[in-house]
Amino acid sequence: MSETLKVPKKRIIFEWKRISNIVIGFLLIYFLFFGFIVNTGSNQQQVDPGIKMLYIYTAFFNTDTFRLSGLVWPQFLSFIFKTPCWVSIFIFFVIGILQSYREDFVVYAIKNSIWMIPIIVLISWFWYTVAYFEHPLIAQAAGLNIARIWKFFALLGAYIVAFIINFGQTVAIYFTSIHALLNIIVLLVIYVTSSFIGSALNCYFYQRAHPIIELIPPATTVPNLEVN
């Protein structure tokens, strides 16, 4: 009888360290980076507040700032409001270094940095949509003269549809402007640069913690062979 060869099944292996690294980077970008941008300054100083969330690079080179209503720092952190918005580039750079420092290999650090760019752009679309969340459908649903329970579902549906419409308009605005290309290039340069620095720091501290010890063999004397 011919023996049947059993082919081992491929198992999905989750690299929890890399996954957790991406999740930590996402949370830091969402809450710390974007949170800093929308919590600095006042509305009177900003001509177009949404541009700093949609085209993030404008926050790096422009001191005009914006504070989203309802998302404010505690009172004891009021000094944040006097901080220029371009300080966010330092926060962004530090997050990239931290995320790359946690990686074991330079290739993984650069790869994760590149993958983080579309995630950051997607977050900017969400922030921009929430900041300018309004649509006539919501007002129409609120003005309906129907039972309270049906009015609740009408408002819920109107909010969902309005958010989808506004999000689609945000994406259309993003990709129909030269700012989108500049935004992606600037984010890519900054984040990939920070990944190189984070990887270099990781290698440096690893070599400090694990020094290479050269083992020199003891010198041996070779007997002289006299040839007659």
Amino acid at 108: Y
Structural contact between residues 105 and 23, judged by C-beta atoms closer than 8 angstroms: no
CB-based burial label for 99 (10 Å; 0-12, 13-18, 19+)? buried
pLDDT at 122: 93
* Mean pLDDT value of segment 80-85: 62
pTM above 0.85, yes or no: no
The verdict on residue 117 lying in a domain is yes
Coil/strand/helix, residue 46:
coil
For the chain, how many structural domains are there in total?
Answer: 1
The verdict on residue 8 lying in a domain is no
pLDDT at 131: 75
Length in residues, the chain:
228
The verdict on residue 166 lying in a domain is no
pLDDT confidence band for 118 (50 / 70 / 90): very high
Which residues span the domain enclosing 192?
Answer: 16-132+179-206
Choice among 88-102, 137-151, 180-194, 207-221 with the minimum mean pLDDT: 207-221
* Mean pLDDT value of segment 59-82: 57
pLDDT of 100 > 90? The answer is: no
The verdict on residue 192 lying in a domain is yes
pLDDT of 167 > 50? The answer is: yes
The verdict on residue 163 lying in a domain is no
pLDDT at 218: 60
pLDDT at 160: 83
φ/ψ of residue 46, rounded to 5? -115, 125
The verdict on residue 161 lying in a domain is no
pLDDT of 115 > 80? The answer is: yes
* Mean pLDDT value of segment 157-177: 87
The verdict on residue 195 lying in a domain is yes
pLDDT of 57 > 80? The answer is: yes
- Name the residue among 127, 29, 35 with its Cα closest to residue 72: 35
Residue percentage of the chain with pLDDT more than 70:
68
pLDDT confidence band for 70 (50 / 70 / 90): very low
Higher per-residue pLDDT: 47 or 212: 212
The verdict on residue 169 lying in a domain is no
